[in-house]
Amino acid sequence: MPVKIMDTKQFHIRPPIDLISRFEATFRSYPDFVVRSPGRVDLIGTHTDYNEGWVLPAAINRYVWLAVKELPTPLITLYAESTGDWQPDTPQVVFRLTELEHKKTLGGDPLPEWATYAAGVAWSWQESGLATPGSTIMIKSDVPIGAGLSSSAAVEVAYAAAWAHITGWEIDRMELAQLCQKAENNYVGVPSGLMDQFACTFGKKGHVLLFDCRTHDWQPLAFPDTLAIIVADTGTRRTLINSHYEQRRAECEQAARIIQQYAPDVRALRDVTLELLAEHADEIPGPAYNRAQHIIAENERVLAAARALKAGEPAVLGTLMDESHISTRDLFEASGLALDAMWEASQGHPARLGGRGAGAGWAGCMVFLAEAEGAADFADYLSRRYNEATHQTPTIYALSTASGVQVFPSRGW
* Residues near ligand GLA (CB under 6 A): 46-47, 49-50, 192-193, 195-196, 359-360
Q: Which is nearer to ligand GLA, 192 or 327 (CB)?
A: 192
Q: Which is nearer to ligand GLA, 23 or 397 (CB)?
A: 397
Q: In what order do the strands lie in the sheet with 352-357?
A: 352-357, 365-371, 227-233, 395-399
Pairwise CA distance, residues 141 & 158, whole Å: 11
What is the H or E stretch that residue 338 is in? helix 337-346
Q: How far is the CB of 137 from ligand GLA (least distance, A)?
A: 23
**Pair type for strands 54-70 and 352-357:** unpaired
Amino acid at 346: S
Q: How far is the CB of 361 from ligand GLA (least distance, A)?
A: 7
Q: Which is nearer to ligand GLA, 354 or 359 (CB)?
A: 359
Q: Which is nearer to ligand GLA, 154 or 230 (CB)?
A: 154
Q: How far is the CB of 46 from ligand GLA (least distance, A)?
A: 5
CA distances from 23 to 6, 38, 160 (A): 21, 21, 20
Q: How far is the CB of 39 from ligand GLA (least distance, A)?
A: 11
Q: Which is nearer to ligand GLA, 31 or 404 (CB)?
A: 404
Q: How far is the CB of 341 from ligand GLA (least distance, A)?
A: 21
Provide the CA 39 distance to its chain's centre, in angstroms: 6
Q: Which is nearer to ligand GLA, 353 or 367 (CB)?
A: 367
Which candidate in 49, 196, 233, 271 is catalytic?
196
Residue 212 is among the residues annotated as catalytic for this protein: no
Backbone angles phi, psi at 175, to 5 degrees: -65, -40
Three-class secondary structure assignment of 344-361? HHHCCCCCEEEEEECCCC
DSSP string for residues in 193-230? -SHHHHHHHH--TTEEEEEETTT--EEEEE--TTEEEE
Backbone angles phi, psi at 403, to 5 degrees: -80, 155
SS3 264: coil
Backbone angles phi, psi at 51, to 5 degrees: -100, 20
Q: How far is the CB of 382 from ligand GLA (least distance, A)?
A: 22
CA distances from 114 to 71, 303, 344 (A): 21, 35, 34
Known catalytic residues? 196
